Each structure stands twice: as structure tokens, then as C-alpha cells.
Homo-oligomer: A and B are copies of this chain.
Amino acid sequence: MSFSFHLEATCGAARAGRMITPHGEVRTPVFMPVGTVASVKGVPQDVLDELDVQILLNNTYHLYLRPGVETVRQLGGVQKFMAWNKPILTDSGGFQVFSLSELRKINEDGVQFRSHLDGSLHFFSPETSLAAEIGLGADIIMAFDECTEFPATRERARASMEMTTRWARRSQSYFESHRHEVPWFQEQQQRHSREQRQALFGIVQGGMYPELRRESAERTVELGFDGHAIGGLSVGEPREKTWEMVSETIPLLPADKPRYVMGVGTPEEIVEYVRLGVDMMDCVLPTRAARHGLLFTSEGKVNIKNARYARDEAPLDANCRCKVCARYSRAYLRHLYTSQELLAQTLNTIHNLSHYLDIMRRVRETIVSGEFASVRPVG
């Protein structure tokens, strides 16, 4: 099996590890930029390479609708399709489908939903979602789960968590019998003597109820996934709740497999999650905030449209080594943003990603050197 996870250093609850995937190695803890439709909005892949992005997230729901799974499959999978030669993770489409709210109907079988593009009817179940994820061919794929809404009663959260557990089993079962259908299966077999395969991660749910989270973790771990994710967070709950749910769940997830918290967080939070033992995170915050002119720096947040920057010759962040801070002034970045220039989106996103990825690189270095406890969150 090509997918494997090696722990290299631990320091309290934090750990650094290596994930070996069919398309390369990922050094954890890692922050995954979001590339919704197989593109990190406004940033060319060679710049993602320069930024030392190790693994990207793509959204199954979006790629399923456009350009369609069959197109990506025929083109060799998402890595070849987007010319990204490193690992990719796809979500199951569940979270996006649940976000459609008015456009969906859920039952034990799965979810019927209407496309946000043209209103056409579609159906996602553990089986159809996994078929899509196998066809897209990411290195790491996610079980199909129900993202419990917030707030939810204990009864509702339990019922939802139990359905997620049943869907996890169905996801796994479909995966086991179809995983040779991944588009690069043949090619990888020719290149390597051993079988190269996708990894399937299970997802813990349970709303904001610690005992449901613990039960979900135990029942998910029993199924023997390649890694484990904590889902159903960042759905409107207070930040302390998010933190509490992760704290309660992480100790129950095996340390010899990657532990992934979905959809978090701020620059401060990602450091704290690593302290709890989290290996992987993804969040739209750095990329989405960048497109709205909200920039993260070592001195705190900067709203670049603020008039005080109109004649400010300083770089956005004097402590940042990214190509944006090396070349451009705040005055120029403000001008691009207020003039609604395309380049504003690109440069702002490059900087914010650089800020996140630098934090994670520093975290990895200090875990390995044993100094991690002394790292203070910035930004």
C-alpha cells in the first residue's frame, strides 16, 4: 500500500509526520489551501509550488458539476487535470450539498439536491459520492457524511451522527470494491512494484455534544480508515465550542494515522490545533479574506482598503518573505484593491497563503527541533 503515515517527532500533543501518497510526500502538520474547482482562486500553480504548498483541497461537489467526473477521469485525474504534481485531497461533497439548504432532501439513502449552476437534479449517496471521488482520483478522499447543522438538539445530533456512521461503512464498502477504478491505477502499477492507492479518511460528527463526539470517534476508528477527520465544525458555533469538540475528540483518534480538522481556522488557531495533535487543516479564510482585502500579517490584520495606506511606501508585512511583500508597497496594494484590479486578488491571496504556510513551516521546524512549546501564535 502506498499510503502510509510516519510520526517523526512529538512534543506534548503536537507531532510532525510524513504522509506518503501516490503523488508524493506531505510533511505534517500541514495547512491545505482550498482549490474549489481545481484552482486556488487567482494563483497559478507555479506560485503554489514556490509557496511550498504540499497538498491542496478540491471540492467534489463543484468538480462533479463542472467539468464533470468523467472528464477529469479521462484526463487522468485531478492532479493531471490541474497540472499539480503533488497530492490533492477531495471532500465528499457532503458539506457543500448541505450548504444548499433549500435545494436538498436528505434520507437514509443519500441526498437529492439541485445544482446551484442550472437547477438540475442530482443525487449523492455514500456510493455515488465515493464513485465521484474515485473518478476524480485525489490522493486522499473522504467518506460521505452528514454535516449536522448548528444548533441541533441532542436527539437530532445523535440521529445524524448515527447515519454518518452507517454512511461511513457504506463509503468504505464501496471504496474497497471500486478503488482499482482510480484513473491512475494502471500507470502507478507500471511505475511501482507495489500497489499505489488512494487513502480513505473517516469523519467524526456529533454536533456540539462531547459524548456524541466521543462515541462517533470510537465507532469511526473501529472501521479502520487510513486517517480520521473531525467534521461538522465552523458551522456557526462559538469558537470555544469548536475548540472543545476538537479537544474532546483528538485523544480518541489513533496517533499513528493522520488527524484532520476540517474547515479551520485563523492563524492563531491553526497553531493551537497543532498543539492538540492535529496534522491537517483546511480553511477558505486566507483565500476568501484576501479577495475581500483582509490581510494577515505578523503585526495583526490589515484592511488594505483603509485610506491610511494610500501613501504608505512600506511593504504589507516587513517580516514576511513572500514575493508580494518583497516587491510592492501598501499604497500600491490599496490602489489595486480600490481600483478593483484583478491583480489585487492574486497578490492578496499569495500573501495570505504565504502567511499561513510560513506559520505551519515554522511549527514543523520547531516540533522537530523540540522548541515547539515556545512558538507563540502570530497574526
> Which residues of chain A have a CB within 8 Å of any CB of chain B?
37-46, 66-67, 71, 74-76, 81-83, 310-311, 313, 323, 327-329, 331-332, 335-336, 338-339, 341-343, 345-347
Contacts and interface: CB of A to CB of B under 8 A. Distances in A.
Nearest to A45: B327
A contact patch SS: loop
Contacts of A66: 335, 338-339
Given A44-B346, A81-B332, A67 B310 contact: yes
A336 B42 CA distance: 10
Contacts of A82: 332
A42 B76 CA distance: 29
Q: Which 3 A-B pairs have the closest CB atoms?
A: A42-B342, A39-B343, A83-B327
Contact of A342 (B41, B74, B327): B41
B46 A323 contact: yes
A311 B347 contact: no
Number of copies: 2
A310 B42 CA distance: 21
B37 A339 contact: yes
A244 to B, nearest CB: 37
Given A67-B331, A76-B313, A83-B329, 17 more contacts: A37-B335, A38-B332, A43-B343, A44-B346, A45-B327, A46-B323, A66-B339, A67-B335, A71-B311, A75-B311, A75-B313, A75-B329, A82-B332, A83-B327, A83-B328, A342-B346, A346-B346
A338 B68 CA distance: 13
A74 B335 CA distance: 14
Given A38-B335, A339-B37, A71 B310 contact: yes
A74 B313 CA distance: 10
Nearest to A42: B342
A43 B43 CA distance: 10
A66 B66 CA distance: 38
A332 B83 contact: yes
Nearest to A344: B39
Contacts of A323: 44, 46
A83 to B, nearest CB: 5
Of A74, A345, A346, which is in contact with the most chain B CB atoms at under 10 Å from its CB? A346
Contacts of A341: 37, 39, 41
A324 to B, nearest CB: 8
Nearest to A327: B83
Contacts of A332: 38, 81-83
B347 A75 contact: no
A347 B47 CA distance: 12
A74 B311 contact: yes
19 contacts: A37-B341, A38-B335, A40-B343, A42-B342, A43-B343, A44-B346, A45-B327, A46-B327, A66-B335, A66-B338, A66-B339, A67-B310, A67-B331, A71-B311, A75-B313, A83-B329, A83-B332, A342-B345, A342-B346
A155 to B, nearest CB: 40
A329 to B, nearest CB: 7
A343 B310 CA distance: 27
B346 A75 contact: no
A104 to B, nearest CB: 22
